[in-house]
Amino acid sequence: MVNNRIKKHPILTTEEKEQVHFFWINESLSGINGEPISSSLIANGIHVFGHHPKDHSPQGIFCANGQCSHCMVISDGLPIKACITPLRSGMKIEPANQLISLPPRNKIGKFNYINEIDIPVLIIGGGPAGLSAGLELVKAGIKVIIIDDKQQLGGKLVLQIHRLFGSTKTVFAGTRGIEIAHNSSIEIWTNSTAIAGYSDKKVGILKNGVEYVLVKPDHLLIACGAREKFLSFIGNTLPGVFGAGAFQTLVNRDLVLPGKRIFIVGGVNVGLIAGYHALQAGIEVAGLI
């Protein structure tokens, strides 16, 4: 059985976590309970998650952040993005090889009471920008709610295991990114996604993935973060071609090896740091341009 997991790291702890079994095209595999499906598949040596419905080219992971659809798979009959869907025991996962159709629903859903909340400021996004804004508002005595669709705050900070550069007074220089995103003075909703904005200035939020809540803020601050830059070249969507954020997500957050040898395009801080992270994880860097 293939096991592409990082067992030793100079910075990160690599203790054993709860293992669960799932099925990939009827083959029984093991993964870590709650980790993204994509990380479990890659840890098992599976990089092709499906094929494009038009030209049948293989599809894999690219952003690992839920922003594209390269990692689409069918899980228990439903189309989902493998990079943001947590693994559960007994899942039956299959490739997405054609245009997706939702299964029919024969029952009318039950309408529950919808909780409504008034708040001075709602911040969508719990990365560096959202957290910084929230902290400044709290200092000024303004009540804030920050929502983020991930399990933990910090955005790209949770991928930065190196000590940051610059001024110690303004940008936490000398501190690792993974040590920054902790604060208890702000109301935080993780695993929560803003899915609607209405003309009466209410925002519909799926709180913790289960409860629909309407929040009416006096002010709405959107700090949803950046997207991976995508170079245009033939083959740029093939499995094995992914953004630096996806690479850092697999290696630094999920402790999964996406490969044994990488080539990096881009030599500014992100490219250099990605190469450094690769070496720390035991991955050979073939080159950087």
In a domain, 272, yes or no: yes
Regarding whether 91 and 74 lie in a shared domain, the answer is: yes
Structure pTM?
A: 0.85
In a domain, 250, yes or no: yes
Domain that holds residue 206: 115-222
Regarding whether 218 and 123 lie in a shared domain, the answer is: yes
Regarding whether 234 and 214 lie in a shared domain, the answer is: no
- In the chain, the percentage of residues whose pLDDT exceeds 90 is 60
Regarding whether 57 and 192 lie in a shared domain, the answer is: no
Q: What is the DSSP letter of 107?
A: S
Check: CB of residue 201 under 8 Å from CB of residue 216. Answer: yes
| CB neighbours of residue 126 within 10 Å | 29
Regarding whether 93 and 234 lie in a shared domain, the answer is: yes
Distances in whole angstroms, Cα of residue 240 to Cα of each of 58, 142, 163, 237:
10, 46, 28, 9
Which positions ≥6 away from 10 have C-beta within 8 Å?
A: 280
Kindly report, residue by residue over 66-106, the tens digit of the pLDDT.
Answer: 888 899 999 988 899 999 999 999 999 999 988 777 777 78
Give the residue from 222, 247, 280 where a domain finishes. Answer: 222
For the chain, how many structural domains are there in total? Answer: 2
Q: What CA–CA distance (Å, rounded) separates 66 from 159?
A: 16
In a domain, 50, yes or no: yes
Q: Is 5 helix (H, G, I), strand (E, B) or coil?
A: strand
Q: How confident is the model at residue 182 (pLDDT cuts 50, 70, 90)?
A: low
Kindly report, residue by residue over 6-27, the tens digit of the pLDDT.
Answer: 999 998 888 888 999 999 998 9
In a domain, 140, yes or no: yes
User: Tokens for 30?
Assistant: 């093991």
Give the residue from 222, 246, 268 where a domain finishes. Answer: 222
In a domain, 2, yes or no: no
CATH number at residue 203: 3.50.50.60
Side chain identity at residue 58, one-letter code: P
pLDDT over 80 at 284, yes or no: yes
Q: How many helices (H) and strands (E) would you count in the chain?
A: 4, 15
Regarding whether 283 and 142 lie in a shared domain, the answer is: no
- pLDDT on residue 193: 93
Buried b (16+ CB within 10 A) or exposed e, 251-273: bbbbbbbbbeebebeeeeebeeb
Regarding whether 191 and 250 lie in a shared domain, the answer is: no
Regarding whether 182 and 141 lie in a shared domain, the answer is: yes
- pLDDT on residue 183: 56
Give the residue from 222, 256, 272 where a domain finishes. Answer: 222
Regarding whether 235 and 210 lie in a shared domain, the answer is: no
CATH number at residue 77: 3.10.20.440
Kindly report, residue by residue over 210-260, the tens digit of the pLDDT.
Answer: 899 999 999 999 998 877 777 889 988 899 999 898 999 999 999 999 999
Regarding whether 132 and 68 lie in a shared domain, the answer is: no
